[in-house]
């Protein structure tokens, strides 16, 4: 298999691709782009495995995203199970979800599958606070659930994919705590990194990668951070169907667009696209233990 790039974080098994999932995956593989499709709750974690099973060059992760810890009005109909219908009412993305807790036994079964290469995405998101929820209680709850999943990753000996928004100090502390306990031998990545160069350095001390999305093609602060972070610490991802890079802003995202993120990082750093491809793909292989 000739894969030049790895999209280390996408959601190609989400409902946004119901009509053409196989074409999207095949198009990316044909373009030399392998991918890791990421679970966010019990259903999407299981569905990701089903897709990864079908293709060499597609891997998956399992975990519980912080936005799924509270019952809330759904803000993202992409995450509905395939074929799931939305009740008529306040618009297509408006349904209630139930709160989930991390279920060790359920995820332990999923983790046995050879295509599951990491635990995540999970972590801390202090940005999106559901209405009526106390911020301090939310933080505590997210920390508890993140700690559980860090320990779980240690138990199943897999790296972690961390979602972190407006919470880098607390997130780094949780990781430090688990490493101090003798855990996280495989380490992990802070996905969709939008922090500062200083925050990236914090993660470098912990031997963690940071991963850039399409935001690096249009976000000035993220460009600054990407310039400062050494290539040896960088992964690239689309987070598709979200965060479409320039020049495709406004269109649905897909894994093959990860090349535009690599191209932008090459320009920011003044190195060749080949160099970015070579190093970031080696980084992804190292972290996730991919063989191809």
Tell the smallest beta-carbon distance from residue 176 to Zn ion (Å).
21
CB of 100 or CB of 291, closer to Zn ion: 100
Tell the smallest beta-carbon distance from residue 270 to Zn ion (Å).
29
Tell the smallest beta-carbon distance from residue 121 to Zn ion (Å).
5
**Count of beta carbons in the 10 Å neighbourhood of residue 158:** 23
| Euclidean distance between CA atoms 263 and 268, whole angstroms | 9
Tell the smallest beta-carbon distance from residue 222 to Zn ion (Å).
15
Tell the smallest beta-carbon distance from residue 164 to Zn ion (Å).
8
By beta-carbon distance, which residue lies closest to Zn ion? 163
| Euclidean distance between CA atoms 122 and 111, whole angstroms | 15
| Euclidean distance between CA atoms 208 and 221, whole angstroms | 20
| Euclidean distance between CA atoms 14 and 47, whole angstroms | 9
CB of 100 or CB of 239, closer to Zn ion: 239
Q: How many residues does the chain have?
A: 292
CB of 129 or CB of 271, closer to Zn ion: 129
CB of 30 or CB of 238, closer to Zn ion: 238
Tell the smallest beta-carbon distance from residue 154 to Zn ion (Å).
21
CB of 158 or CB of 163, closer to Zn ion: 163
CB of 163 or CB of 186, closer to Zn ion: 163
Q: How far does Cα 104 stand from its chain's mean position?
A: 20
Residues near Zn ion, by CB under 5 A:
121, 163, 239
Continuous segment of H or E residues that includes residue 172: helix 168-180
Residue 28, CA distances (Å) to 201, 272, 276 in order:
32, 21, 18
Q: Is the peptide bond before 154 cis (omega within 30 degrees of 0)?
A: no
- Strands, DSSP E only, in the chain? 5-10, 33-38, 58-62, 72-73, 96-97, 116-125, 160-165, 188-191, 209-212, 234-236
């Amino acid at each position: 298999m000739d894969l030049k790039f790895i999209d280390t974080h996408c959601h190609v098994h989400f409902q946004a691709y119901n009509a053409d999932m196989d074409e999207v995956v095949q198009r990316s593989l044909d373009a030399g782009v392998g991918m890791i499709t990421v679970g966010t709750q019990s259903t999407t974690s299981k569905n990701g495995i089903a897709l990864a099973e079908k293709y060499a060059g597609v891997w998956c992760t399992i975990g519980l995203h912080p936005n799924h810890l509270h019952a809330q009005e759904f803000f993202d109909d992409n995450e509905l199970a395939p074929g799931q219908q939305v009740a008529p009412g306040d618009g297509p993305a408006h349904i209630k979800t139930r709160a989930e807790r991390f279920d060790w036994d359920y995820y332990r079964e999923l983790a046995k599958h050879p295509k599951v290469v990491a635990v995540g995405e999970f972590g801390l998101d202090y940005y999106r606070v559901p209405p009526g929820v106390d911020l301090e209680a939310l933080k505590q709850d997210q920390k508890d659930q993140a700690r559980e999943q860090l320990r779980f990753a240690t138990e199943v000996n897999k790296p972690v994919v961390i979602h972190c928004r407006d919470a880098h100090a607390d997130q780094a502390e949780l990781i430090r705590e688990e490493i101090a306990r003798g855990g996280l031998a495989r380490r992990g990545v802070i996905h969709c990194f939008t922090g500062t160069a200083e925050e990236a350095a914090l993660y470098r001390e912990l031997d963690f990668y940071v991963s850039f999305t399409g935001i690096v093609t249009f976000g000035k602060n993220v460009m600054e951070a990407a310039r400062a972070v050494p290539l040896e610490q960088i992964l690239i991802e689309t987070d598709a169907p979200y965060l479409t890079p320039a020049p495709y802003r406004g269109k649905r995202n897909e894994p093959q667009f990860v090349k535009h993120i690599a191209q932008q990082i090459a320009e920011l750093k003044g190195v060749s696209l080949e160099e970015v491809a070579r190093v970031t793909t080696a980084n992804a292989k190292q972290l996730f233990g991919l063989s191809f």
